[in-house]
Every structure is written in C-alpha cells, then in structure tokens.
Amino acid sequence: MAAPGLRDIPLLPGSPRRLSSRTVARGGQGPKQYLKVPSPRVPGQRDSSSQHSSHVSRRACSRDSAVINNYLDANEAPSEARLSRMHFHDNQRKVDYVLAYHYRKRGAQQGHGSPGHSLAVISNGETGKERRTGGPGDVELGPLDALEEERREQRDEFEHNLMAAGLELEKDLESKSQGSVFVRIHAPWQVLAREAEFLKIKVPTKKMYEIKSGGSIAKKFSAILQTLSSPLQPRVPEHSNNRMKNLSYPFSREKMYLYNIQEKDTFFDNATRSRIVHEILKRTACSRANNTMGINSLIANNIYEAAYPLHDGEYDSPGDDMNDRKLLYQEWARYGVFYKFQPIDLIRKYFGEKIGLYFAWLGLYTSFLIPSSVIGVIVFLYGCATIEEDIPSKEMCDHQNAFTMCPLCDKSCDYWNLSSACGTARASHLFDNPATVFFSIFMALWATMFLENWKRLQMRLGYFWDLTGIEEEEERSKEHSRPEYETKVREKLLKESGKSAVQKLDANSPVDDEDDEDKLTWKDRFPGYLMNFASILFMIALTFSIVFGVIVYRITTAAALSLSKTTRSNVRATVTATAVIINLVVILILDEIYGAVAKWLTKIEVPKTEQTFEERLILKAFLLKFVNAYSPIFYVAFFKGRFVGRPGSYVYVFDGYRMEECAPGGCLMELCIQLSIIMLGKQLIQNNIFEIGVPKLKKLFRKLKDETEPGESDPDHSKRPEQWDLDYSLEPYTGLTPEYMEMIIQFGFVTLFVASFPLAPVFALLNNVIEVRLDAKKFVTELRRPDAVRTKDIGIWFDILSGIGKFSVIINAFVIAVTSDFIPRLVYQYSYSHNGTLHGFVNHTLSFFNVSQLKEGTQPENSQFDQEVQFCRFKDYREPPWAPNPYEFSKQYWSVLSARLAFVIIFQNLVMFLSVLVDWMIPDIPTDISDQIKKEKSLLVDFFLKEEHEKVKLADEPTQRSQGGGDRSRRSRAASSAPSGRSQPGSIASSGSQHTNV
C-alpha cells in the first residue's frame, strides 16, 4: 500500500534503469513503472514535510535512491507568479547550467499534447508531471529509430550520473514530434561546497584590510588622478571602493567559520557556480557512449547540442531592475561610452579571469598606442614641414637638371626625364627622413615598455583577483581528454585486441588514466605530423606563389599600359593601386582558408587536452596568417628592385618582361602604400564588417530556419520566452583565438614596418577604440555566456608578442638600411660631398649607360626625344661606360653596403641593449603588490590563530558554565567580540567584517 498522500506517477523515459526498492513500485511485466511521490504543494509553502523532502534531496547524492522534489501541478492555479526566468519552476533554485538537445519522434499523434503538462522534473531522482495511462491528454508515442533511441539512453545515463554527483535537474517533456529540450541544472549548497574545496577556489573571509597607496606624495598624486579621471570611470560598484580588499583563502568545509557566509544562495557568484557545474559535467562519464568522458564528448557525438551557463537576464529590459549583464551593456558595451575606462573587475566577475585578462590586455595595448600615435603624427608633420628644405627632392624636381633616364621596359617604353617623378620624390620625404630612424628606436623601446607594463598589470590583477597559486587547478584542467583523442585511442585498441572498446575500457578506467597516460605514441601520431609538415609547407609555398603571381601581374600590366599614350603617364600609380587591392582581397580570402586549415591540421594531430589543442592551433594559425599578411610587404621592402640587373643586361621573368624596378624616390613610398592599404583594409573589412555583418547574417539565417522548420507550433509561443531559450538563440562562444589573432597581426603592422609608415599607430588606435566596444557588445549581446575559466596569464600569446617585438628591431634596422635612402645620404654627405650638404646627391646615385649598347630589339620605338640620346641614367652605383671596368660595382657601392651593414649591427645592438635596460629597470612585480602579498600572508596567519582561539573558547563555554564560570564566560565573549585594534595597533576586527590597515 502506498503511504497516505502519495500518488503514482509514470517513470519518465529519461529514468535510469536501477532505482531503490523503497521508492519504486515495480508492476511485474507491465509496460509502465511508477514512482511514489508526495502530493503537490504550493511553492514557497514551508512545512515540516517540505523541509524533510529538501533534507532528503540533499542527501540523495550519497545513496542510489530516487528523491522527489515536488512542484505545483500545471492544472492547479499557482499561488504566486513566476518570479524569475533564471530559476526552476519553484522560483527557489537557480539555474546554474543548461544542456540542450534536439529530439525527434516517429508516429506521434499531434494534438494530444497539453500545454499544461510540459514540465518534467528530475532532481536527485526522477519525477514527471504526466497523467496516468489512459487519461485524456496522453501523448501516444510511436517507435523511435535506433539512433534516436541510443542517444536517448545515453542522455538518460548521463543525467542519472549527474544526479548521482548531487546535481538537481529539471527539464521539459518531449510533448511534440520533434523539438528542442532544455535540461536545467542546479547545484545545491552541498555540491558547491564540496567542489569548491576540491577545486581550491579562493573565497573572501570575514577579514578585510585597507590597501595602502604608499607615501603622502603618492596618495596626493593618486587622489588628483582619481579626481581628474572621475568622468572617465564607469559607474559600477567595483570602482566605488577599491581601497578595501577581502582576505581570501581556499574554501574548506572544515573551516566554515572563517568565511562571511550570510546567504548560501549568493555566497558563490553565478560565474563560480557555473564553473563548478561545468567541472562536474567534464568529468562525468557515460558508459553507454563507449565510456565517453564529459559533456564535450557528448556534444561532439551529437548526443547534446549545446551546454552553456545562463546570462544574468536581458541587457535591454525596461525598468530599473539591474543585473550585471545590463550594467555591462550600459557602462561598457555601447559605443556611446567609448571614452570611459573598462570595468575590468566586473568583466572578470561576469565572464571569468581568462576573458577579463584579454580585455585588460586590449585596454593596456590601446592606451599604449596613444603616445606612439602622438610621436608618429609628430614625425609625419616633421616630414611635411621640411619637405621644402629637402635638397634631393628639389634636385629631382628641377627641370634644368634634365636627367634623361633609361627606358622602364623594352620597345614600348621611351626615355624619360627624372623631373617627371617629382611628386613621388616629395611624397617619399614625408616618411623617409631622419626622424623615422628615431621613431623606429622609440617603437622598439615602446614594445618593450608595453610588455613590461603588461607583466606588471598582470601581476596586479592576479593579486586583486586572487590568482596566485592556481597552478594546481590549471594542471587539473589539463587532465580532461578531448573527445577526438578518446575516439582515436578506442580505434587503436580495437585494432590491437579485436575486442570491443567497451570491454577494453570499463567505467573505472577512463582513457586519461594516470597509469597509462600517453596511449598514443609518436608512431600513432606520425601520419598526422607528416601531414602537418607537408600541408604547412604547401600553404607557405601557395602564399609565395600568389605573391609571385601578383608580381607577374604588375609586370605585364605595366608593359601593357605603356603601349598606350593615354595611360602611359599613370602606369606606376595604376599598377601599384590595383596590385595592392588584389593583394588585400587574396589576403582576406586566404586568412579564412588558413584558419580552417590550421584547425583541421591540429585535429588530425590528435592533441590530448584542450589546452594542448589550443596552443598548437594558435601556432599554426599564426604562422600561416603571418606569412599571408606580410609576404607582399616583405617583397616590396627587401626584394623589389634588388634583382633587376642593369641596362643591356636586365633580368627577365618571361621573354620580354623585365623584373620591376623601384620608383625613382625609392621603394619606401610604395612600401608605405602597400602597408597602409593592407592594414586599413584588414581592419575595416575583416575585423569590423565581418565581425558585425557575419553574426547578423547568421542570426537572420537561424531565425528563418526556425520559422520554416516543420513541426508543431508551440502552444506557449505567446508567453514570455525563458532565459535559456533566449541564450540558445545566441551564437556559441568559440574562444578568444580570433580576437587575439586579429590584435597580434595588427601589433605586427604597428611594430615591424613602422619606419615606413609612422601613422600606423594612429590607425591602430582608431580601430581599437571601436574594437573594444565591438568585442564588448559581441560578448554581452550576441554570444552565449562563456564558461568562467581561471588563468593567471594570457599564455602563449605573450611569447608571440615578445617574439614580434624582438623581430621588429631587426626588420626596422633593415628597412632603414636597405629600403630607405637614409644610409646613402649619410655616406654621401660625410664622404663624397664637397660642402658637407646633400647638393649633388641625386647625380651621385645615378649611373651612366651608353644607349648604343642596348640589345637589339629593345630600343625604344618612336622616341619622343628630339635630340639624339647618347647616354641614359639609371639608379645604381656602377662604373661609367668610359671606365676600365664599365658597369662594374663602384667604390661608392661598397662604401654604402658596408655602411648599411654597420648600421644594422649598431642599430640592433643599441636597441636590444636599451630594451634589456628597460626590462631590468622595470620590475615584473610592482613593489607595492609584492609588499601587499607578504603582509597578506602575515594577516592570514594572525586571522587563523584568532579564529581558532575563539573557536576553542566557544567550545569551552558549556564546561565553564557547569563549573560556575558564567562571569568569565561572559567576559570571554565580550573580549572576543570587541575590536581587536586595542590589542594590535592599526587593526580593527569584528566577527562580521574585519578591517586592517596594511
């Protein structure tokens, strides 16, 4: 007989196969199984039975029994309205995580489902709000196909294992022929406390102390800065009192008296709760899915579609109700607040440390671009101010000099006057002047200063965010194997033993067991490594081939345009502009291809853990995208015009097509054009238009797909959508790799070739001001909430940044020495000039050629020059035709070459020395943070001793009372609750919140 007040409810299809005999009444061979559950109660009604049910529910994780959590029946009128869309339907338990999957039935009869029976509750046991068999409103289900049935069983087992771990689940009934189902997960206090202790999550204790800012001068300076920057500060609670800090300590259930636990429901914030649930999801196994470990494997096998924590509500909801998401949108993710600082602490609280560090890094990088932009503009303005004083450009523009230049191509090209390139020469001076040398040195030191300041900021954030000592947690997160790795191991075991993978790997020995850690040897991975090596070489060769193809386009187009008199005058400008646009389009296309190829190559390499996968993916993607973005620029900077040959002995690409030459003013101007168009094009098209347009198109496509998808219409469509429905419609979070990659490539544009384009930091700054808000809006409004990940640094990205910074010193040294005319001008001015000025420099750099020695068939046809040309000039240091060794390299050539090499060596060593000096002068850990960490350890010891002493006193009170020691006990309690500042100078403590000046 059932106990009074209990009724029979059919067992859900998602129920596990084994339930306790105390709670399940099995009906022989009948098709239905029933649970004995208490009668429904009104939410919020607190009686002895409900308290007992809640108590039993919390203990359910320790035994294999079904424990019931009852809810109001859908047919009964609720006593209170739905309070929150982020809770279970009892308005009490918070939804910490959501699993989503799509189901499909066959043979279901439409129209039988009742909207009132849409809720199934599984909470450390299983209950289902369904009617008894034979009632009006039953849903007659047809047979499921084999694949769907297998997935259902795997989901059932996984959810049962989650309940065995102590989690509480709620999900909708599958009342339609197909649709999406959301499994809501709640972690009760016992689970949160257990996992927080296991993960060693640092939480605030009762103790608070004041962070000193230093001496009186430092305090005054800090107060002045705070007053001046107050309009720029976001209006968020984290910035209201940043001088007080809680003393933090890893959570321990044995030391609960240390923590200021006022409410168990709010002690762990939402990000921490979701992180705890995600850790449980990652380590929960499913034996029916070939002993698959974790939710990531189930998603990879299409058993679930998505797993995500909920946002804190809507960001644009009307009214004054405020949540962290809405606050972030108003104070951070709108373009209207572009001038404000970022609320880094709130970002970290909402999204986790990994994303918080990214936006902190992006903010520091953007702020560092301000001084470099100012200096770059000054260098550019210096070039504009001194353009009229530049002697070489004046000589080139002087029509009286009449330097007759040799033809630029065979047959169709005529002789030409150097004065026709006057505009190019004057424009080159804007970027090729002595100030660019000092700007290159400044930018090399700027990169070092930026990295050093980031290390300091990283340490400061690590102190305030309690990230010190999380190495063990990071190592533990590395243990989870990727689904692809598990599958590869099973395939290997099947080949070796011929047995089933399930037989080979039982539930107690997962794939990533410590005793058999590396199950894939280098022999197993060798085909993947070989494919990686060959594919990367092929991609690099493909990039170089495309660059060569653009070179051929430039050569052939220039020759074709030279045939017509109307286009002959603008040949160089037309060819340069169109070739750069082609390069830009190719770079944008290959960027997308290379990103997908890098991901595919990393997958076939089969890394074991997600972190290893991410690091290898980053290295491959960076290598391919670096070569793709910079190879056209490297060609113009270091190869164009170097292998042309000379008149009478040109180097030909094809028959009749000579290698292209630099402009008369040098290749630096063309390098500037190439760099500026590629940089601006990537920022405008790829970084902004793609990031704004593509997500909107995806959202529109998904919306149209949902509207046209066959199936029953939702009877509750008129109701306000739940938060998990709204979040499910958002784009899934795919990681920070694209965000970092985009900024790293930009960092390369800013530092590598800054000698040729001093305005690069300005355009980078303008882009980043938009980029910060664009990324913020994307994270807040367009993406599902990411899992909070704790990390103490930005990982491999710092090594890449450091490598680019060092590489930029070498590149800029060669750009100044080889590409620009800075060294030849210095050599001429101090070695060959008669009066120590640059007068005669242009004539000095032009060699003579006897036109009678041109090869037959290469002479200009229909020359426009009236007088007969006997000698033409070309830009090179060669002996004249009348010299004993005509057209050999002259002494000036070797003088300039040795000066260039000497400059590279001196520049590189000087800048490296200054960089090391800056690195040595700026400590990685700020002095105040180092002192605070030491004092915090001392405070922690004192706090422990005091709390232990008070705990002993409280334990001794009953004994003292029985011995007549009531007076002493009262004095002891009064002393323990009195401020501790009287015993320790500068210290004020209370049982609720203790303040100490440090």
Residue 398 pLDDT? 78
pLDDT band at 520 (very low <50, low <70, confident <90, very high): confident
Q: Is 240 helix (H, G, I), strand (E, B) or coil?
A: coil
Residue 112 inside a domain? The answer is no
- Asked whether residue 149 is assigned to any structural domain, the reply reads yes
User: Alpha-carbon torsion 537, 543, 546, 547, what sign?
Assistant: negative
User: Is residue 282 included in any domain, yes or no?
Assistant: yes
Query: Is 184 in a helix, a strand, or coil?
Result: strand
Out of 784-788, 901-905, 986-990, least confident range: 986-990
Strand ranges across the sheet with 34-38: 6-10, 34-38, 24-25
- pLDDT single digits (tens) 560-619: 777 766 666 667 778 888 888 898 889 988 988 998 899 899 888 888 877 888 889 999
Contact present, 414 and 404 (Cβ < 8 Å): no
Residue 550 scores a pLDDT above 70:
yes
Classify residue 859: in a domain, yes or no.
no
pLDDT exceeds 60 at position 716: no
When mean pLDDT is compared over 49-53, 519-523, 852-856, the highest value belongs to 852-856
Q: Does residue 947 fall inside a structural domain?
A: no
807/956 Cα distance (integer angstroms):
68
What is the number of other CB atoms lying within 10 angstroms of the CB of residue 353? 24
Residue 897 CA to residue 827 CA, distance in Å, equals: 10
Could you read off the pLDDT of 949-979 as tens digits, one per residue?
777 777 676 666 555 544 544 444 444 343 3
Q: How far, in Å, CA of 199 to CA of 193, rounded?
A: 10
CA distances from 133 to 125, 277, 727 (A): 21, 36, 35
The per-residue pLDDT for 256 is: 81
Q: What is the SS3 assignment for 850-867?
A: EHHHCCCCCCCCCCCCCC
Mean pLDDT along residues 708-735: 71
More confident: 170 or 566: 170
Nearest to 199 by CA among 275, 294, 307: 275
Identify the CA nearest to 975 among candidates 997, 958, 962, 991. 991
Under a CB-based contact definition with an 8 Å cutoff, are residues 485 and 474 in contact? no
Nearest alpha-carbon partner for 764 in 745, 779, 740: 745
Q: Alpha-carbon torsion 614, 615, 617, 621, what sign?
A: positive
Q: What proportion of the chain, given as a percentage, has pLDDT over 90?
A: 13
pLDDT at 993: 38
Report the length, in residues, of the chain: 998
Q: How far does CA 727 lie from the centroid of its chain?
A: 20
Whether the CA torsion 436, 441, 444, 446 is positive or negative: it is negative
135-157 mean pLDDT: 66
**Largest interatomic CA distance in the chain:** 129
Closest CA to 9 of 32, 27, 35, 38: 35
Q: How far apart are CA 58 and CA 124, in angstroms?
A: 8
What's the pLDDT score for residue 800? 93
Dist CA 968 CA 976 (whole Å): 12
Instruction: Judge whether 362 lies within some domain.
Output: no
Residue 780 lies in a domain: no
SS3 274: helix
915 within 8 A of 450, measured Cβ to Cβ: no
Mean pLDDT of the chain: 75
Pairwise CA distance, residues 62 & 65, whole Å: 9
- pLDDT score for 470: 63
Nearest to 756 by CA among 514, 405, 431, 483: 431
Residue 861's pLDDT is 76
pLDDT > 50? residue 814: yes
Tell me the residue range of the domain where 186 lies: 93-104+143-201+251-310
Min mean pLDDT across 113-127, 549-563, 595-609, 941-955 is at 113-127
pLDDT at 765 > cutoff 90: yes
> Could you tell me which of 674, 700, 697, 653 has the C-alpha nearest to residue 409?
653
Q: 607, 599 in Cβ contact below 8 A? A: no
- Check if the beta carbon of residue 205 is closer than 8 Å to that of residue 259: yes
Rounded to two decimals, the pTM is 0.80
Q: Report the 3 state secondary structure along 913-926.
A: HHHHHHHHHCCCCC
3-state secondary structure of 968: helix
Q: What is the mean pLDDT of residues 902-926?
A: 87
* Confidence grade of residue 494 (pLDDT, cut at 50, 70, 90): confident
3-state secondary structure of 730: coil
Residue-wise pLDDT tens digits, 172-199: 787 777 788 889 999 999 999 998 888 8
Instruction: Check: CB of residue 780 under 8 Å from CB of residue 333.
Output: yes
Q: Please report, for residues 393, 409, 556, 657, the alpha-carbon distance to residue 651 in angstroms, rounded to integers and kept in the order given.
A: 29, 12, 15, 9
Report whether 330 contacts 342 (CB < 8 A).
Answer: no
What percent of the chain is modeled with pLDDT above 70? 74
Q: For the chain, what is the domain count?
A: 1
| CA distance between the termini of the chain | 68
Write down the H helix ranges in 515-657: 522-561, 565-568, 571-605, 610-634
Angstrom distance (rounded) from CA 794 to CA 749: 21
Q: How confident is the model at residue 507 (pLDDT cuts 50, 70, 90)?
A: very low
How far is the C-alpha of 54 from the C-alpha of 186, rounded, in Å?
14
pLDDT reported for residue 288: 72
- β-pairing, 202-210 vs 994-997, is parallel
Can you tell me the distance from the alpha carbon of 785 to that of 271, in angstroms, rounded to the nearest whole number?
9
Q: Tell me, what DSSP letter sits at residue 609?
A: B
Q: pLDDT (tens digit, 9 = 90+) per residue, 679-711? A: 888 888 876 677 777 777 777 777 776 666 554
- Residues contacting residue 434 through CB under 8 Å, at least 6 positions apart: 822
Report residue 802's pLDDT band, with 50, 70 and 90 as the boundaries. very high
In a domain, 293, yes or no: yes
- Tens of pLDDT along 418-459? 888 777 778 888 888 888 888 888 888 899 899 999 998 998
Q: For position 564, what pLDDT does the model report?
A: 67
List CB contacts of 751: < 8 A, sequence separation 6 or more: 443, 444, 446, 447, 804, 805, 808
The rounded distance, in Å, linking the Cα atoms of 680 and 762 is 11
136 pLDDT tier (thresholds 50, 70, 90): very low
Q: What integer pLDDT is reported at residue 122 of this predicted model? A: 54
d(CA 114, CA 868): 100
Q: Are 442 and 375 in contact (CB under 8 A)?
A: yes
Cα of 562 vs its chain's centroid, Å: 49
- Sign for the CA dihedral angle at 356, 361, 362, 363 comes to positive
Mean pLDDT of 915-940: 80
Q: Which helix (H) or strand (E) holds 906?
A: helix 891-921
Long-range contacts of 450-453 (CB under 8 A, 24+ apart): 450/364, 450/365, 450/368, 451/798, 451/801, 451/802, 451/805, 452/918, 452/919, 452/922, 452/924, 453/364, 453/368, 453/922
Lowest-pLDDT range of 91-100, 213-222, 631-640, 927-936: 213-222
Q: For residue 184, which phi and psi values (nearest 5 degrees)?
A: -90, 140
Determine the Cα angle at 996 with ends 990 and 998, to 5°.
Answer: 170
> Cα 439 vs. chain centroid, distance in angstroms?
30
Whether 119 shows a pLDDT value over 70: the answer reads no
